[in-house]
Amino acid sequence: MINDERIRSSITKITSQVFVIWYVLLLASLLYRQFYLGQPLRQYWDIVVIFCIGTSYGTISMFARGAVYKNRITKCAKWSVPTLLVTNVAVAYFRGHIETIGDLIASIIGGAIGIALLGILLFFLYRRWERKIDVSE
Amino acid sequence: MKNKVSKVKLARVESDLTQAQLAEKAGVTRQTIGLIEAGKFNPSLRLCLAIAKALDKTLDDLFWIEEEENDQ
């Protein structure tokens, strides 16, 4: 049976493009519902869950299979971590969850802990992949 | 790139094989062989080896890029 690598490669490219289209549209749909329609989360939690599952699977898989540029990730973290923290606080503020200084500090600490846990998980997955293929320095 | 493709085509013609026959030996479709010969598809090392074996040539004979070609 013919197993043509060109066809396999084309299918992979097309499916990844389809994934990107769906992913962007899903994100646009979430933003539209959240910020334009002002719907509460309980009205579209199913889309959020699907989006989170897809994002988590993609991110975890990339780190677990070493499909990341280590140097770029380090550089990227320098601006993405503060951006995530600020975004987290801004979203909490606009949703009316921040009324006191204590709420603000809790939001920052909560965001920082979340990002740190995510970073540790991704670092652990990447190190595990390095040890598996034995290319660690 | 074009020269590399020509080498595959030349070797195939020398071996008196059609694209379809070479494709069958290498385990791919005829279109893929056509694209490799036209320089529009970069085959994997596994496929390069299969093609070289089918044409009874070495990888150097079929896919080595000369200095002058590289500069162009």
Mutate which of B21, B22, B29 to disrupt the A interface (most A C-beta within 10 Å)?
Answer: B29
Please answer yes or no on whether B41 and A4 come within 8 Å at the CB atom. Answer: no
| Best CA proximity match to A85, nearest among A114, A119, A108, A118 | A108
Asked if residue B71 is part of any domain, the answer here is no
Q: Could you tell me the two tokens for A22? A: 């769906």
Asked if residue B30 is part of any domain, the answer here is yes
| Best CA proximity match to B12, nearest among B47, B46, B60, B62 | B62
Tens of pLDDT, residue by residue over A8-49, are 999 999 999 999 999 999 999 999 998 899 888 889 999 999
Tens of pLDDT, residue by residue over A91-110, are 888 878 888 888 888 888 98
Q: Is the pLDDT of residue A80 over 60?
A: yes
Q: Could you tell me the two tokens for B63? A: 């896919």
CATH number of the domain that residue B20 is part of:
1.10.260.40
Question: Do residues A95 and A41 make contact, with C-beta atoms less than 8 angstroms apart?
Answer: no
Chain A segment 42-101 residues within 8 A of B by beta carbon are: none
Q: Could you tell me the two tokens for B36? A: 């490799």
Tally of structural domains, chain B: 1
Residue span of the structural domain in which B30 resides: 2-60
Query: Domain ranges in chain A?
Result: 1-64, 68-137
Predicted structure pTM score: 0.69
Question: Do residues A2 and B29 make contact, with C-beta atoms less than 8 angstroms apart?
Answer: yes
Asked if residue B34 is part of any domain, the answer here is yes
Minimum Cα–Cα distance from A10: chain B residue: B41
